[in-house]
Chains A and B, each alone.
Chain A
Amino acid sequence: MESMGTLHPSTLSTKDLHWRILWNKDTCTLCGRCTAVCPVQAIELGVHRKRTVNVPLGIKDSPATALSVYHGIDQRTDPAFACVGCAMCSMVCPNDAIVPVLNEDVDKQRFHINTGGIPRRRGGRRNAPGSFLDQIKFVRISMLTDPALDAGRHEFEMRTLLGRILPPEEALKFSRENGWIPPVREIYPLIVGSMSFGALSPTMWEGLQMGVAYLNEELGMPVRMCTGEGGCPPRLLRSRFLKYVILQIASGYFGWDEIIRAIPEMKEDPCAVEIKYGQGAKPGDGGLLMWYKVNSLIAKVRGVPAGVSLPSPPTHQTKYSIEESVAKMIQSMYMAWGFRVPVYPKISGTSTVLAVLNNLARNPIAAGLAIDGEDGGTGAAYNVSMDHMGHPIASNIRDAYLNLVKIGKQNEIPLFAGGGIGKNGNLGANAAALIMLGASGVQVGKYLMQAAAGCLGSESDRCNICNIGQCPKGITSQDPRLYRRLDPEHVAQRLVDVYLSFDTELKKVVAPLGRSTSLPIGMSDALGISDRNAAERLQIKYVV
């Protein structure tokens, strides 16, 4: 018979966990809200026996043990129920009696989150707090020889183009001859990155859509939002708001049956079609929506059965070569809307980016290239993919841009950068840096989830449970009990706040550089960094 004291290899103490719950018995009111709200049941009601030794004065009575019971919480040490640090317990506690804290030690939990031979899967981000983009400074300040501009009062035109732009000579020739000119969209350079209906909750998606519509229709900011791979709600497909939407098609083709069928009924063309070949968070791995989140609504929109995991293949299975993937697929998607909608691929950051780019450059209609760097986020991925796979965005964008300069096509194929922009809160500066390295615009997801919806994720492995649909803020959950916590109106309002503040920040960066009439794409002479190797690699100034 096994003794009660047996230790299993995965038996942990609270000291071994990544997040430890600190609980104050004196202030706890035993209301139970923390245990109720915890998304992973990391804490439970604890009934504790306490022994006290009473030592009476004098010799009449001998010391005696008194046993009492007190109630409180217990933190579970089973790795399957480990605290994720979301701190919803602190948020609901009326007395601030409970808080999760990071283990100052390297936790032991990480060695045991593979029970059953399944490596850790999670949502979120790379959990690498440093940001290379934060190191880039804007050093070409206009002083005396030309005026720095007033960011608050000067007129700025901070728009970008999405679409295949012809060389001027060709465009004028086609114009004279009434030839076909590829569609080009004038858009705001900060794009709501691809987050699918399914990865996000209905309330979050609705909030983002409402915010985007408000920005366009009330504030005149041509903001666009990419659907991600999850289809698009039928009413949106048939509404005039579709023009603010970039439809994504990826290797699972989820939702495309519905989209294709809706084409004859569309009042507006979508802004563009993004063909996803890869994403920064899990490069070379397909999309994944785990079964927890595939409820009947999501299943209907995507055209799949409910309750099954939806892993997209790592590549488009019907395409076996880059010629097929790029040339044929781009052409097919163009054809679907009568060549009125720009179609561009999105790839993960990779050292082979130039091979893709050169192929696009030879294709006459590819409308751009989106590159998602290693700091991109995701709703679900294997931990190892998220933490260790991928390519930093800065050098990828720079290489791609300089390569386009070399072949004279820097204005013809706009590059869009994604992955870790604003990861430490510096959205405006990071976006401006990438634009000056050569990006025509940036795609942002995590920052918007944090700022517009209060996502709790951070670079210290906090929360990160988007994959199982337990998002405590209701952002990435399909459980109505959770997503009702999120009011779409508030999300929309916050999204507008974010865009307005970003706009001001962008102007505060470009105005001192003397730029106002066009987005400073490729204005690399404005950039500096105190790392000599990085300066050399990116061909920007080395400054100390």
Chain B
Amino acid sequence: MCRLFAITSQDPLTPMVALEALNVMKEGHDGSGVGLYLSDLAGDFEPYKDYPILSGIFSNAGMKKLDDYMLARGFRPKFERAIRPAKPAPAGTPRRDVYLISVYDYPDDWKYLPKAEVRLRLMLTRVTLRQMGIEDGSMMVFSFWPDTIMLKEIGDPLEIADYIDLNDRNILARNILSQGRQNTNYAITLYACHPFFVQGVATMTNGENTAFVPIREFLMSRNFPGYVGYQSDSEVFAHILHYTYYNLGMGLEAYKHIITPLKDDELARHPETSRLRLLKHTCRPLIIDGPNCVIGFLPDQTLFMVHDSKKLRPGVIGGKPGIYCCSSEICGLDAAIPDRDRDEDFQPMKYDIVYVDKKRREIKKWNQWEPFTHPH
């Protein structure tokens, strides 16, 4: 089962922290993919927080295509980190021309657009580039969003990091998601590699999602152009959260009630029966049927972790003020924050959702039996 590790820290960290934690949990991933999501950036990218950053993998032809496309639409490159690996590729890792992290300035005519329109256009740009890349294999685009970098590649996490000299590149972040993948989706494709990202929502998951097809059908029929992909059954967890956050205007509590609603007889005993029943009925196709552990970040940089009732080996959250981790295995947490108070570690059970907000002062726990107080 895939290994997941997430960290949020007051002080900027190198992504190596997360990759080393994945390495401790190595027996659970098979080199079929490593994925990194970085936000609240520091280092070289700190000055460009307000500008969208494009992350992806490109062939030389793809770079040309990208430049043509972006320039034609009025995006002006501000800063770029194009990683062209010089070392021999690790066994099993395809040879790529460029791993690109490129900051753009917005087109002039975007300046006075409402925020929602800017969000939509950024997402559409990413989806269009992705589609252009699928046609001829010249580019893979993982994110195009302010203050966000994503890296994905096939191979062992540490070997990949060494291959692209990740440690030496002054790419730092305060929020990191990392996944070491164990392939259960038949084909090894990078678009099946977690974390998944859409408009500031990023999640990664382990475990099989047996309700995948009806969930995918529901999401795709919302006619939102960002609900595409689905090379992995786990991509729906990011999209459900996105749907909850943007379309329903609700937060993590609602997300928990949507993906793992209380049973009918439990709902009857809940203080807010009618509201929750309405949510359960109307979002019925989004009920997951795990076992799944979902870890992710909200657009407001809240780190969260949630499980369904079938997750027999839950993930763990722990840390100390200023730095907290979610990890699919305790050994990952031990590797990253050995000097924490272990008594404060918490493994959320089927009714719980845990989160750490941007202040990073404490772990907040919320249980589905508590009043549902956050309709946002």
Contacts and interface: CB of A to CB of B under 8 A. Distances in A.
A42 interface: no
Interface stretch (A3-11, A316-324, A511-519): A511-519
Interface in B55-73: none
A186 interface: yes
Nearest to B183: A145
B214 A184 contact: no
Contacts of B263: 155, 157
Question: Chain A contact residues: over half helix, strand or loop, or mixed?
Answer: loop
B289 A514 contact: yes
Contacts of A407: 221
A146 B211 contact: no
Contact of A524 (B184, B213, B282): B213
B228 interface: no
Contacts of B310: 147, 149, 516-517
Contacts of A112: none
B208 interface: yes
A525 interface: yes
B213 A525 contact: yes
Contact of B265 (A142, A167, A220, A514): A220
B210 A515 contact: yes
Contacts of B282: 165-168, 171-172, 411
Interface string A396-434: 000000000111101100000000000000000000000
A11 to B, nearest CB: 61
Interface string B329-364: 000000000000000000000000000000000000
Given A169-B248, A408-B223, A515 B284 contact: no
A405 B221 contact: yes
Interface string A122-155: 0000000000000000001010011101000001
Given A165-B282, A172-B248, A181-B278, A522 B217 contact: yes
A410 B221 contact: yes
B309 interface: yes
A518 B284 contact: yes
A175 to B, nearest CB: 6
B214 A165 contact: no
Contact of A406 (B214, B221, B248): B221
B308 interface: yes
A450 B291 CA distance: 40
B207 interface: yes
A488 interface: no
Contact of A517 (B212, B249, B275, B287): B287
Nearest to A405: B217
Contacts of A408: 218, 221-223
Contacts of A410: 214, 217-218, 221, 285
Interface string B245-263: 0011110000000001001
Contacts of B248: 168-169, 172
Contacts of B210: 140, 142, 146, 513-515, 523
Interface in A258-304: none
Interface string A175-210: 110000100101000000000000000000000000
Interface string B281-293: 1111101111100
Nearest to B292: A146
Nearest to B217: A405
A517 B207 contact: no
A176 B376 CA distance: 12
A522 B284 CA distance: 12
B264 interface: yes
A482 interface: no
B279 interface: yes
B211 A520 contact: yes
A411 B284 contact: yes
Interface in B206-243: 207-208, 210-214, 217-218, 221-223
Contact of B264 (A172, A186, A411, A523): A186
Contacts of B212: 525
A495 interface: no
A393 interface: no
Nearest to A521: B214
Nearest to B185: A145
A523 B278 contact: no
Contacts of B288: 517
A161 interface: yes
Contacts of B278: 171-172, 175, 181
A414 to B, nearest CB: 10
Interface in B284-319: 284-285, 287-291, 308-310, 312
Nearest to B268: A186
A159 interface: yes
Contacts of A157: 263-264
Contacts of B207: 146
Contact of B284 (A142, A161, A406): A161
Contacts of A167: 282
B284 A145 contact: no
Which one of B263, B275, B282, B312 has the greatest number of beta carbons of chain A within 10 Å? Answer: B282
Contacts of A411: 218, 282-285
28 contacts: A140-B210, A145-B184, A146-B207, A146-B291, A147-B310, A147-B312, A165-B284, A168-B247, A169-B247, A169-B248, A171-B281, A172-B248, A172-B278, A184-B281, A408-B218, A408-B222, A411-B282, A411-B284, A514-B208, A514-B289, A515-B211, A517-B308, A517-B309, A518-B287, A520-B214, A520-B289, A521-B214, A523-B213
Given A145-B208, A172-B375, 18 more contacts: A146-B208, A147-B312, A155-B309, A157-B264, A168-B282, A172-B279, A181-B278, A186-B264, A220-B265, A407-B221, A410-B218, A410-B221, A411-B282, A517-B287, A518-B211, A520-B214, A521-B285, A522-B214
The 8 A-B residue pairs with the shortest CB-CB distance, nearest first, are A146-B208, A408-B221, A514-B210, A168-B282, A145-B184, A518-B287, A522-B214, A171-B282
